[in-house]
Each structure stands twice: as structure tokens, then as C-alpha cells.
Structure 1
Amino acid sequence: MAESVVLIDYGMGNLHSAAKALEQASPSHRVRVSSDAQVVAAADRVVFPGVGAMRDCMGALRERGLDQAILSVVAAGRPLLGICIGMQALTRHSAENGGVDCLAVLDGSVTRFPDHAGKQRLKVPHMGWSPVLQQPHPLWQGIADQSRFYFVHSYCAADLSATQTVGSCDYGVPFAAAAARDNVFAVQFHPEKSAADGLTLLANFLRWQP
């Protein structure tokens, strides 16, 4: 039987494009979109995507019991991929919306990009293609170091520990573009919008055995 890959639906994010990208990355996997906490908790692999505001994100997760489902997947050692706000929600705390406690799977916190870097004014959100400096991890297999990925975000994890940072980027300030802890991998960019390298990363996730 094909492995089940569940894409978490908590009312935020472009689930259609992410689901299609996962299906394209590995047609042998059975991709399912679900808002049911029991389905998420029982999945072989879980993808945690999202866009929008952190308070809404965490509120929607808790309302549906999906926060506990995510933590149970992590505790069970099954592969979990966080994307964009899905990565940010895995940290301890976000400064967005006046401050929101998150899932504390990763050790950092999330802050807003500054308006200036030195004398240079930054356009926020950070939007577009940026290179990612890699640290060794199986999910980078077949992807050249400093390949460019597509970002859209106003907040970032700028204080993640070096041991959990496996990809870094700079937009006025250095920040974690990819993070890893045991069976968890998370990216600030959108692999489903990042052309061939994004599909390669998704394919690597779908065959990853942490």
C-alpha cells in the first residue's frame, strides 16, 4: 500500500498548489488534504503549510486539535515538513500580532524584518527568489548549494540555533531559510513555487527516512 501523505488544512494556505506539487514530485504517494486531527495524527508523512497571520494560524490549529496532532506526529518520529508559516509556527514564539506562543518544536522565535538595513530601506514583505546557503541534510540531495527559492514573508526566524539551521538566507538580516530537528524539516520558502529545485526537495522529503 502507498504511503499516506497528509497536507494539513486549517483554513490557511494554497493547498491546491502544494498538493499538486507533492503529487508531481512522487506519483506513487497518496496525497490527502485533511482538517481532521485524527487523520493527521495517523498519517505516514505530514506537510504543514500556510500563509497569513500567526494568531489566526495558531487559533485555527487549536480549535481543530491540529496542534496536538502535529506534536503527536513529531513525538512518533514520522516525517513532518513545515512550509512558510508552517515553519514559523514550529518555533517557540512569534512577535506577530503582539506576540503569539507557538508549538516549540524548534528552538527559535520569529520577528519582523527591520524597515532598514543600515542606510538601505528594505521592502517588506521579502518577496521573490533568493539564494539559500545550505548545511548538510538529506533533503538537499540533488540541489546545488545557494540555489534560489521563492519567498513571500514579513517575519522570519532570525535566532534559530546553529544546530537546527540547515539553510540560511540574508535579507537585511540573516535568517533561517530551512530548519531541521530529528524527523522535522521546515522551510521559510515555498517549494511548491520554486520550480525544479522545489520539486526535488519535496521528492526528497517523500522518500526521507529520518
Structure 2
Amino acid sequence: MIAIIDYQAGNLTSVFRALKWLKQECVVTKDYETLCSASHVIFPGVGAAGDAMFHLKRTGLDRVIIQLAREGKPLLGICLGTQIIFDFSEENTTPCLGILPGTVKRFPEDLMSSGALLKIPHMGWNSVSFRTNHPVFRGISDHAEFYFVHSFFPRPDSEEYVLGTTSYGIEFPSAVGAANVVAVQFHPEKSGRPGLAILENFCGWRGTDAE
């Protein structure tokens, strides 16, 4: 069973529907026992880092997520769920979960492309250059595009955690991970067939890079 963490941070229903379309048994939950017994855990989210971390700490879900990651459970972060697995976010100057080492940065206000000022947030379709043959991204076309909506992006302390990058005025990490944790800045549940392929790959993943 796939558990989708319920911490009042949006896009839970769209993730649930995508998994149901893939015929995966899944549940949206904040229950400790359910999360621990799940085969895989998805940590989605939209919104602000400060609000998200406040709710996670108030409910104790922060400790649960850290425990699941340390125990080797396959964990997929999506958008805000990707950002707050790092040490710190510039958004609301927020200490985060520290599952992966690094910070979350805001896009510069003066981002340019072809002489034109780019809008923040980065919103819409964009490609990802995957760096490794990670099991979760296996079989994804180099021409595939994914749906983004964000003003902040992860900046891991080491390049070893960067699994894919995207260009939007600057090149930024859009897929990150280590061991049993993988996370994406885009929304696979809103990205058509390529996004569904990533979710399906994740559901069959056992949590190691070598598979």
C-alpha cells in the first residue's frame, strides 16, 4: 500500500487520483501506524515552508517522516515536500527536516532568458535533464516535459544528491535523492504520461539506486 502523507498542504487529491488511475492501493493518512505499515510513502505539498513545518511539528509528523526515511522506506517528495526534506529554506527562514543536506533558495528577481525578464513563480511545462539511470526515472524520454509551479528550489550541499536539473534562467536541481529517498520539484501527478510513469516506477521501487 502507498501512503500519501496528509499534513494540510494541498495536492493530496490529485496524487491520490493518479495512483488510483495506476491501480495502486493507496491512502491519504496522518496515522502513525498506517504510515509505518505502508510499503511506500509519498510526501507531497504546495504552499509555504513555514506553515508546512509548523503543522508537521505540531502534529509530530516531522519526527515520523524522519524516522521513515532513516528506516529505509521508499519516500517520494513532491514540490514543497521536496523542499522541506532539506536542512533549511529561505522561505520564511525555516529550519526543515534535514533528511538531505542542503538549503532551499529563492529564484533571483532578475532572471533573464533571450533578453526577456522571466516571471516568478516558475509556472508551466519544462524539461528535466536526468543525470543518472535512477530506477524511478527509468524509461522517461529526454523530450518529456513536466508541470512546475514554484518560487523556490533545492540546492543540495553536494552534487551527488542531484539526479536531474532544469533550466529557467539558471540551471537548478529539479530531481534529488539519496538511498531510499527521491524527490522532484515538479508535479508528476499533473504531468501526463511521463509523470504517471514516474509514479508507477516509484511504486515498484524497493528503495535502492541499483535496481
Give the alignment's TM-score, normalised by structure 1. 0.93
The residue number in structure 1 matching 2:151 is 154
| Pair 1:138 & 2:132 matched | no
In structure 2, the CA distance between the partners of 1:87 and 1:103, relative to structure 1 (3 Å rule), is: same
**Are the aligned partners of 1:149 and 1:194 in contact in 2 as well (CA < 8 Å)?**
yes
Unaligned runs of 5+ in 1: none
Match among 119, 124, 127 for residue 128 of structure 1: 124
Alpha-carbon deviation of 1:162?
1.3
The residue number in structure 2 matching 1:113 is 107
**C-alpha separation between the residues in 1 aligned to 2:48 and 2:28?**
21
Alpha-carbon deviation of 1:41?
3.0
Q: The residue matched to 2:65 in structure 1 has which SS?
A: helix
The residue number in structure 1 matching 2:12 is 15
| Pair 1:102 & 2:96 matched | yes
Q: Which portions of structure 1, spanning 4 or more consecutive aligned residues, are displaced by more than 4 angstroms?
A: none
| Pair 1:67 & 2:62 matched | yes
Q: Which amino acid aligns with 1:182?
A: A
**C-alpha separation between the residues in 2 aligned to 1:165 and 1:37?**
30
CA offsets 1:49-84 (integer angstroms, 9 cap, x no match): 000000000011111111111111111111000000
CA offsets 1:91-134 (integer angstroms, 9 cap, x no match): 1100001x101111112211111111356422000000001000
**C-alpha separation between the residues in 2 aligned to 1:53 and 1:107?**
20
Give the alignment's TM-score, normalised by structure 2. 0.92
Q: Which amino acid aligns with 2:188?
A: P
**C-alpha separation between the residues in 1 aligned to 2:7 and 2:104?**
20
Q: Which amino acid aligns with 1:32?
A: V
Alpha-carbon deviation of 1:146?
4.5
**C-alpha separation between the residues in 2 aligned to 1:36 and 1:87?**
21
Q: The residue matched to 1:116 in structure 2 has which SS?
A: coil
CA offsets 1:161-190 (integer angstroms, 9 cap, x no match): 210100101111211100011000100000
Unaligned runs of 5+ in 2: none
The residue number in structure 1 matching 2:51 is 56
Aligned residue pairs, count: 204
Higher mean alpha-carbon deviation, 15-24 vs 125-134, is at: 15-24
| Pair 1:34 & 2:29 matched | yes
| Pair 1:166 & 2:160 matched | no
RMSD: 1.3
**Are the aligned partners of 2:100 and 2:156 in contact in 1 as well (CA < 8 Å)?**
no
**C-alpha separation between the residues in 2 aligned to 1:69 and 1:178?**
23
Q: Which amino acid aligns with 1:87?
A: T
Q: Which amino acid aligns with 1:197?
A: P
**Are the aligned partners of 1:81 and 1:185 in contact in 2 as well (CA < 8 Å)?**
yes
**C-alpha separation between the residues in 2 aligned to 1:60 and 1:146?**
38
**C-alpha separation between the residues in 2 aligned to 1:148 and 1:209?**
25
Q: The residue matched to 2:16 in structure 1 has which SS?
A: helix
**Are the aligned partners of 2:156 and 2:162 in contact in 1 as well (CA < 8 Å)?**
no
Higher mean alpha-carbon deviation, 134-143 vs 33-42, is at: 33-42
